[in-house]
Amino acid sequence: QQQVKQSPQSLIVQKGGISIINCAYENTAFDYFPWYQQFPGKGPALLIAIRPDVSEKKEGRFTISFNKSAKQFSLHIMDSQPGDSATYFCAASSTGNQFYFGTGTSLTVIP
Amino acid sequence: DTAVSQTPKYLVTQMGNDKSIKCEQNLGHDTMYWYKQDSKKFLKIMFSYNNKELIINETVPNRFSPKSPDKAHLNLHINSLELGDSAVYFCASSHHAPTGDRGTYGYTFGSGTRLTVV
């Protein structure tokens, strides 16, 4: 059973555009929602994370939007650059427990 | 200094062989994990170890066995390799619980071992 559902599977965006990746969960015990970025040949790396007590977190061009009532959260990449081309994973966990990863989104930013 | 290092990076072997992948972390984390990433990029947790105790064991074949000689190492042994075992295997580590300020925390992944069974 997939604990975290992620969409789209792949995304193509023009340079300078906004990339949006969505995730949804069911387990209301989840209280931590990180996003990971994975480049080819590398392991996933923590990008940004949010807790459900805030609705938005921004770090540079990356923003997480969180909707607790809808049990959804999304990653927005503003001014997308070719260097952002990678696979992105959302994840969720409850304190002290394992992370459940989404199925990944392959982002391609076209110059 | 590499935070989570795993060796080898590539492993090509024949069906039926037994192989091991090594993982070491120098972050002082108390939990280590093994993940399998298939061709569709899906990350599936296989095992985790916390203070030498297995705390997660997903439904993986018993041909796979984790071995942790100490808190900084978690090796993966695979017996009787099958074609379907071909994948990228990632080692990761983390604190078992968030740090005191409940700040940002997460898994630190190694760079992966691409296993090809022929």
Dump pLDDT digits (tens) for A30-53: 999 999 999 999 999 999 999 888
Please give the pLDDT value at position B102.
Answer: 52
The answer to whether A51 and A63 are in contact (CB under 8 A) is: no
Percent of chain B surpassing pLDDT 70:
89
CB contact under 8 A, B43 and A87: no
Question: Which candidate from A96, A98, A104 shows the least CB-CB separation from B41?
Answer: A104
Residue A28, pLDDT > 70, answer yes
Mean pLDDT in chain B? 88
Query: If you measure CA to CA, which chain A residue comes closest to B114?
Result: A41
Q: For a pLDDT cut of 90, what percent of chain A falls above it? A: 86
Q: What is the DSSP secondary structure assignment for residue A83, as one 8-state letter?
A: G
- pLDDT of B86 higher than 90: yes
Distance CA B29, CA B37 (A): 22
Considering only the beta carbons, identify the residue of B42, B97, B109 that sits closest to A95.
B97
pLDDT recorded at residue B101: 43
Pairwise CA distance, residues A24 & A22, whole Å: 7
Please answer yes or no on whether A45 and B109 come within 8 Å at the CB atom: yes
Q: Is A106 on the interface with B (CB under 8 A)?
A: yes
Nearest CB to A87: which of B41, B106, B112?
A: B41
- Hey, are the CB atoms on A44 and B108 less than 8 Å from each other? no
What does the alpha-carbon distance between residue B22 and residue B44 come to, in Å, rounded to a whole number? 18
Contact criterion met (CB below 8 Å) for B41 and A87: yes
**Number of residue pairs across A and B with CB atoms under 8 Å?**
53
